[in-house]
Structure 1
């Protein structure tokens, strides 16, 4: 077996395929559509396309660049449409000496970036026709003034949901986009936590060491579940897309470490699975967790459990980030389960949790790919360790993960079909 397909650790899983993505092995969000994987980059700009119809021999197709100085690490697919985010490349800003490493995650981003004058980045979201899967054709660009769009949630239908930082706000807020005509998307509403609209006279009331900002919201039906980083999570009524309203809010930070990153509603069970993000090496920002909430009464969400951190190795001192990052979103074109949660766990690879008993989540499978051969990360003194960043599971039960430095991995899990 190739060294690339020999995991550092595996439980009820195996590696079956790998791609270095044409030499741009950094990957963040991944979508799989029509036998092709679309991967957003964080160090190399743009996004890449990989033919995964033979999962044991994925074939790099091409790289699609985005404007200079622009991050496009997040993307969405459904049917023949691909959406790609455009925002300021904060790593470029950081390494230019504009602020200290890691400061992007601390306090308000609006205090760190100058919005005045001409921006050296593209801010908004790009829409592509991918009816020809190997040759995306750009059909629209939605300009969102300011820092740009951080993340999008769109699983088909008339509405897309974005997090973006427009001028006049302290950080990313929730915005709804009319997507009935993909060639003419239009922002129709905004929602933010009190204290974020600085141009409207609001003042942040939270400790300035925390970052209150929308990472993104996942929408199921008329319910939005929003992750506000150190600001916790909110449930949002989006039944009126022109006037979304908060239903409830909960924030375990402090005393817990914060940075809520993903919020996956499981509507048939009245459950919410919440993932926090680890940003600092060696858990210097605290232990990050996965939470299970009971949201059967949406006005009063209650935490009922957490998952135990992986412990078969000393991940805290392995180097790099140890903690959750993303969860498979139960997308309509992919694998769906209200009991199995697939979570990328950075230096601890991929973890699969059975939450059929929501009070006692159990890890039932795991796979830690080997360390990368080289780093795509251009920041100084970075550790050479695995950094599993995102996960997508297709209808056949194949599991696709991305790594910040090691490319695309395709996995199988025992009993998953």
Structure 2
């Protein structure tokens, strides 16, 4: 199984037809990057591409430089086991969580529960209608947590959209009892400042703490006021989830004035998002560590006291990172992979014009000890296959593949597909497997592709925005040892200690 890089890549020069400088300028000066395609509660509207880009896409397909429309291609070491199309929830598919023989798939219209006891034939157990982007999902014990990051008329699952300028509008966290997987019960809701774009669990025996990441405040939003330079911390008693409440709002970017601290963005740093909160946080409870991807900043912080997280180090990349989107620790906790969601997930950035260092992963070593630890940049990683200018493609959500002594990761790249890569050598990352579909359309930029791709108990599961739920089998001597590692529960942003 040695097919590491698609040989067609050598011929692909997609994106060169557009003037490289002009395309970069358009992406990087259009204001702060949206963190997701953000179609609200409905599908994203396709955008027309230029006639030359449409012709170039069709020509590339005809020449075998990219897969045909909806065609599936993959490396020799990946097998596509099955796809379960979207059903009663037509919205954008989002994040994934796992527990036992179940997978929980977020969708802008609610969430879906799959029985994955037979990975070749997953079975839908429940579909819960509860609109509210982006419906980031996680589970702990008999509780399921759902993020709402669109302004709603109330906290019910029957709510409608309502402007954030109205004080009565609601955004935040919803809590469900999933004791009966076929019949989840809505049991609690907690409103949080600026909503909940994503959330991260810090579970304890009696309580579950939730770090709520949100951003983009406005003086016109009563419940989302600037500078909004921190995160909401919610405490959920396991035996009384209805008592869930915000217990703290730690400021992660202290600073003077109405803008607080953090990256100031443009015009000081053109093309970089101004830091007004965090997009995503990953915790490593066994090491009392967390890493935050916070728009214009990457941070490392201690969670020894989960109600009062403490920032250890803060880094910026004002040359190549536009929007710090997510973070992943390696198992030894001496590295962090940060992703840059250039273009907000709705742009075509996997082409020659953008290049290999933008819209990519940034690999950072963690050096030093205790509260004196520092993040040290080592290199970038980006998939080596250029995509069409009708395909949204950028670094997105992924997880570790647990192999002792190795740093391996599977990752979603929207319409760039699913990539498996090795960053054991921080300075020399390399792809070792991939799976992708051809463009959804050849004349429009249509948002789709893999939102999340995670490794769980021997298989890769991907939640495709447009196509549904995919199951992949990875067979490679470098990753096969991971098949012996089985977890009872996985929320990727709450990283387990696989070898404890």
Structure 2 length as normaliser, TM-score? 0.66
2:143 matched residue in structure 1: 81
Q: Which has the higher contact order (CA 8 A, sep 6+)?
A: 2
Partner residue, 1:188 = 247
1:327 maps to: 398
Residue of structure 2 equivalent to 1:109: none
Tell me whether 1:400 sits opposite 2:461 in the alignment.
yes
Is there any run of 5+ residues in structure 1 with no aligned partner, and where? 91-112, 375-380
CA shift, 1:134, in A, is 1.9
Structure 2 match to 1:290? 361
Greater gyration radius = 2
- The 1:80/1:370 distance shift into structure 2, 3 A limit, reads farther
- CA drift of 1:304 comes to 1.2
CA deviation profile, 1:369-411 (whole Å, cap 9, x unmatched): 3555x9xxxxxx853575111022212x111001111111000
- Which of residues 355, 369, 390 in structure 1 aligns to 2:423? 355
Q: Which residue of 1 aligns with 2:199?
A: 152
Aligned twin of 2:379: 305
In structure 1, distance between residues paired with 2:393 and 2:184: 35
- Checking the alignment, whether the CA contact within 8 Å between 1:171 and 1:196 is kept in structure 2 is no
Distance 2:246 2:313 in 1: 24
CA contact (8 A) 1:195 1:204 kept: no
Which secondary structure state, in structure 2, belongs to the residue aligned with residue 115 of structure 1? coil
Give secondary structure in 1 for the equivalent of 2:104: strand
Query: C-alpha displacement at 1:195, in angstroms?
Result: 6.7
SS of structure 1 residue aligned to 2:87 = helix
- Does the Cα contact within 8 Å between 1:270 and 1:296 map onto a contact in 2? yes
Q: What per-residue deviation string (whole Å, max 9, x for no partner) do you get for residues 271-319 of structure 1?
A: 1111222424222988211111111325321011222x3234x31x342
Alignment partners' CA distance in 2, 1:197 and 1:46: 40
1:28-67 matched pairs, under 5 angstroms: 28-42=94-108, 45-66=109-130
How do residues 264-283 of structure 1 correspond to structure 2 at under 5 angstroms?
264-266=328-330, 268-278=332-342, 279=344, 280-283=346-349
Query: Considering only aligned residues, what root-mean-square deviation do their CA atoms show, in Å?
Result: 3.1
* Pairwise CA distance, 1:130: 1.3
Matches within 5 A, 1:221-236: 221=285, 222-229=288-295, 231-236=296-301
Q: CA 1:262–1:273 in 2, change beyond 3 Å: closer, same or farther?
A: same
**Could you tell me which residue of structure 1 aligns to residue 83 of structure 2?**
18
Q: Distance in 1 between matches of 2:419 and 2:97?
A: 19
Distance 2:260 2:380 in 1: 38
C-alpha contact 1:223 1:236 (8 A) present in aligned 2:
yes
C-alpha separation in 2, matches of 1:177 and 1:236: 18
Is the aligned partner of 1:250 residue 2:284? no
| Structure 1 pair 371–14 and aligned structure 2 pair: CA distance change class (3 A) | farther
CA distance in 2, matches of 1:89, 1:366: 37
TM-score normalised over the length of structure 1: 0.78
State the partner residue of 2:304.
Answer: 239
Q: Deviation at 1:366? A: 0.8
Aligned to 2:25: none
Deviations 1:83-129 (A, max 9, x none): 11112169xxxxxxxxxxxxxxxxxxxxxx7434322xx41211112
- The secondary structure found in structure 1 opposite 2:348 is helix
